[in-house]
């Protein structure tokens, strides 16, 4: 063989080796790309789990469902005086001119005699009125306006036309009774009435302010020397409401013609609410200290801004509110006073109903503006007084009387034993989950046919209740009564959004709901998830999950049935570092891991086998109990519907899941959810003996 032939053969061999290597590398790249796509799909599926129990397909779809808002218009401040003011000024200055001309007197001297200055100096509980008068005042004219409420230790100077001032005989300041209810109106000034621009309306009507010497303890005083307050002309109500969390909250609506509105705020915390049959779509803004907030509402049609003025936080605006969250918890909040008030600490006094005897129950630093009273009992009334010790004395604010609800019923965890189904409804016409789709008697009959013993009924999402209309309430009553007749247990299912009094109160109200016939819920299921439409993200969200169930347990009492719906440990091999299973289990009676096995793959037509499905259910039971750190009952939350295009489980998959959960020692399996379950899934549930 010639050298040329050898070189040719070597070249051919080299080319063949390169081609083989290239084909292997291409296959390797394709395998790596396939693996990367699969890992990406798993990650995306895990991230989308934040909406897996809501029935909404995806977050963009949730936003597309938002519509029909009402705008709160921004009221521009007019620079032109009102007609009554212009008229009064014209009369005040024109009348002396006419008189002077008639008397053949130069008008300049007459006009300069009709301007005076009134000074009001407030120091502690005393009031000093000083008048500077340059001419006689005619008593023929009556005042048209009143002076705003003075602030403590503040000098107010108001120039006034002399013809508009009426000075009655001096009167002594009489003692006034400290108000005990938030609904009482402030007392008017009785010494003097002058024309002045009214002050801004406070965030909420404050309790009367009592000023005591510095260092004195003021425990709900009965008779204190305070000036009577003025009657101020009606002003637009402030958007801010003082909450029992010691913060201000405001409700913002989108314009009626906006669609898919998005809410943002310049400061504070803003949360978009569930669409409501009553309020439409809206958002809440919360601030913990006084400052103005600009809320921007954006949609496809454009954007609009709403300016919320800073709520009043002075001593004269000190107020307190209380709310009975449950039979064993009352939350008390008060105005976060301005730093200039120099608050040293706050004292909380409690009395039983309208009783005069008060008891010091808490002493808190100046940074605290709320308190949780855990030493209360069911069906009793309480009232609270908050005393702020300041550099100039003590300021007292009282709450309204609140009454705690009845004790909640006691039920064992065995009510979840066997097979169950999730069901949620809406009160909004046109919604795919409108309650009118479900005939109450038909739902219970179908449950009996499939031998379903428990239904978890979604009652609230955050602070938004599902039954929002009288028709929805009538439907709910029919369902509860029909379930009671069939001996089927109902669990009130709620979706927490934030650890607030309003949110937790809505959850406890759902647990305590009863029909006129006395039918109610056997327990409460808390859907404890992280994500934008749940408790938020990050470390703060996981801490909030624990705080939420801890507060619900304290409010409901130690014996009420609480089910914690938790993330499945199999989704990402979670540990207690990723999700607080053990801390949640300390306050729960049952853990309910969401084992929606079709979330493991993005593609809709993956062929599952028995080992995958039964193994996932069995692992969910065993691993959840292990992470809980104690022998706690585990009820699996299974899947019967198509979630996010991953396909509906077949009847045999459902049978495998039931078998895996039961064989691992689970007390039952509840499937998500009623509306999307196909006939073959119903048949599989019916055929399985549990």
What pLDDT was estimated at residue 104?
52
Angstrom distances, CA of residue 385 to CA of 177, 339, 393, 396: 14, 21, 16, 7
What pLDDT was estimated at residue 9?
74
Out of 78-92, 181-195, 276-290, 676-690, the most confident range is 676-690
Q: Which residue blocks in 103-140 are alpha helix, DSSP H?
A: 107-112
577's CB contacts (< 8 A; 6+ apart) are: none
Closest C-alpha among 138, 120, 136, 117 to residue 128 = 120
Statement: residue 141 has pLDDT above 60: no
Mean pLDDT for the chain overall: 77
DSSP state of 435: G
What pLDDT was estimated at residue 235?
57
Q: How many Å apart are CA 332 and CA 326, to the nearest integer?
A: 13
Q: What is the 3-state secondary structure (H, E, C) of 357-387?
A: CCEEEEEEECCCCEEEECCCCCCCEEEEEEE
CB 634 within 8 A of CB 624: yes
What pLDDT was estimated at residue 100?
53
The whole-number average pLDDT for the span 58-72 is: 36
Q: What is the pLDDT of residues 166-191, one digit of tens each?
A: 333 333 333 333 333 333 333 222 22
DSSP state of 488: -
Q: What is the pLDDT of residues 405-428, one digit of tens each?
A: 999 999 999 999 999 999 999 998
What pLDDT was estimated at residue 3?
67
CB 472 within 8 A of CB 459: no
How many other CB atoms are there within 10 angstroms of residue 521's CB atom? 25
> Beta strands of 38-166 (E only): which ranges?
115-123, 126-132, 155-161
CB 294 within 8 A of CB 261: no
CB 416 within 8 A of CB 638: no
Q: Give 463's Cβ-side CA count (13 Å radius).
A: 16
Q: What is the pLDDT of residues 487-508, one digit of tens each?
A: 999 999 999 999 999 999 999 9
Q: How many Å apart are CA 461 and CA 492, to the nearest integer?
A: 11
Closest C-alpha among 678, 673, 688 to residue 639 = 673
What pLDDT was estimated at residue 392?
87
Q: How many Å apart are CA 628 and CA 586, to the nearest integer?
A: 8
Q: Of the ranges 97-106, 282-291, 350-359, 658-667, which one carries the lowest mean pLDDT score?
A: 97-106
Q: How many Å apart are CA 197 and CA 41, to the nearest integer?
A: 63
Could you give the 3-state DSSP secondary structure of residue 133? coil
Q: Of the ranges 345-359, 453-467, 578-592, which one carries the lowest mean pLDDT score?
A: 345-359
Q: What is the pLDDT of residues 294-310, one digit of tens each?
A: 999 998 878 889 999 99
Q: How many Å apart are CA 330 and CA 43, to the nearest integer?
A: 42
**How many Å separate Cα 383 from the centre of its chain?**
24
What pLDDT was estimated at residue 671?
98
Closest C-alpha among 515, 512, 325 to residue 409 = 512
Q: What is the pLDDT of residues 572-583, one digit of tens each?
A: 788 999 999 999
260: left (phi over 0), alpha (psi -120 to 50) or beta: left
Statement: residue 159 has pLDDT above 50: no
Which of 299 and 356 is assigned the larger pLDDT?
A: 299
Closest C-alpha among 642, 639, 645 to residue 657 = 639
35's CB contacts (< 8 A; 6+ apart) are: none
Q: What angle do CA 319, 321, 326 make, to 5 degrees?
A: 170
Give kind and range of the element (H or E) at residue 96.
Answer: helix 83-102
Q: How many Å apart are CA 451 and CA 454, to the nearest integer?
A: 9
């Amino acid at each position: 063989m010639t050298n040329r032939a050898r070189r040719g053969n070597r070249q051919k061999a080299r080319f063949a080796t390169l081609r083989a290597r290239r084909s292997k590398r291409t296959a390797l790249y394709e395998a790596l790309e396939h693996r990367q796509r699969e890992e990406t799909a798993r990650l995306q599926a895990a991230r989308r789990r934040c909406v897996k129990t809501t029935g909404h397909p995806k977050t963009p779809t949730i936003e597309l469902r938002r519509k029909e808002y009402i705008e709160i218009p921004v009221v521009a401040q007019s620079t032109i005086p009102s007609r009554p003011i212009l008229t009064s000024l014209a009369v005040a200055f024109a009348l002396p001119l006419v008189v002077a001309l008639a008397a053949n007197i130069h008008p300049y001297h007459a006009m300069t005699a009709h301007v005076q200055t009134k000074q009001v100096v407030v120091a502690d509980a005393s009031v000093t009125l000083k008048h500077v008068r340059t001419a006689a005042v005619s008593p023929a004219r009556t005042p048209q306006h009143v002076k705003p409420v003075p602030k403590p230790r503040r000098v107010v100077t108001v120039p006034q036309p002399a013809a508009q001032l009426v000075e009655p005989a001096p009167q002594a300041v009489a003692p006034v009774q400290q108000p005990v209810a938030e609904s009482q109106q402030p007392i008017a000034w009785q010494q003097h009435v002058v024309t002045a621009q009214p002050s801004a309306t406070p965030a909420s009507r404050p309790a009367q302010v009592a000023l005591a010497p510095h260092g004195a303890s003021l425990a709900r005083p009965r008779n204190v020397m305070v000036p009577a307050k003025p009657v101020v002309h009606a002003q637009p109500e402030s958007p801010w409401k003082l909450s029992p969390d010691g913060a201000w909250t405001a409700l913002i609506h989108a314009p009626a013609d906006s669609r898919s509105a998005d809410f943002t705020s310049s400061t504070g915390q803003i949360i978009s609410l569930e669409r409501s049959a009553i309020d439409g779509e809206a958002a809440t803004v919360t601030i913990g200290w006084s400052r103005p907030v600009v809320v921007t509402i954006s949609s496809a049609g454009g954007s609009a801004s709403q300016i919320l003025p800073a709520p009043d936080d002075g001593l004269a605006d000190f107020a307190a509110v209380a709310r009975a969250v449950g039979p064993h918890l009352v939350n008390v909040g008060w105005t976060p006073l301005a730093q200039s008030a120099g608050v040293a600490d706050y004292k909380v006094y409690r009395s039983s109903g309208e009783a005069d005897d008060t008891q010091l129950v808490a002493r808190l630093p100046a940074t605290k503006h709320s308190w949780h009273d855990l030493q209360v009992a069911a069906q009793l009334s309480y009232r609270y007084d908050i005393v702020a010790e300041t550099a100039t004395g003590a300021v007292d604010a009282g709450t309204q009387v609140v009454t705690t609800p009845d004790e909640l019923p006691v039920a064992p965890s065995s009510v979840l034993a066997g097979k169950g189904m999730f069901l949620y409804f809406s009160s909004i016409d046109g919604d795919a989950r409108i309650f009118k789709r479900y005939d109450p008697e038909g739902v219970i009959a179908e449950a009996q046919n499939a031998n379903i013993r428990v239904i978890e009924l979604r009652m609230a999402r955050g602070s938004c209740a599902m039954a929002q209309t009288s028709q929805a309430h009538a439907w709910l009553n029919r369902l509860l009564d029909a379930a009671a007749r069939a001996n089927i247990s109902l669990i009130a299912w709620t979706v927490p959004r934030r650890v607030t009094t309003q949110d937790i109160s809505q959850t406890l109200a759902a647990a305590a709901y009863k029909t006129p016939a006395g039918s109610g819920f056997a327990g409460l299921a808390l859907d404890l998830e992280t994500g934008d439409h749940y408790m938020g993200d990050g470390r703060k969200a996981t801490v909030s999950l624990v705080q939420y169930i801890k507060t619900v347990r304290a409010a409901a009492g130690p014996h009420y049935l609480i089910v914690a719906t938790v993330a499945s440990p199999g989704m990402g091999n979670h540990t207690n570092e990723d999700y607080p299973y053990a801390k949640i289990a300390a306050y729960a009676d049952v853990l309910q891991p969401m084992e929606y096995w079709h979330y493991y793959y993005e593609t809709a037509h993956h062929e599952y086998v028995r080992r995958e499905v039964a193994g996932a259910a069995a692992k969910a039971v065993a691993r959840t109990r292990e992470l809980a750190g104690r022998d706690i009952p585990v009820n699996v939350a299974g899947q019967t519907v198509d979630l996010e295009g991953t396909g509906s489980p077949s009847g045999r998959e459902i049978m495998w899941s039931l078998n895996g959960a039961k064989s691992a020692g689970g007390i039952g399996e509840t499937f998500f959810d009623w509306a999307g379950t196909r006939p073959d899934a119903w048949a599989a549930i019916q055929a399985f003996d549990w």
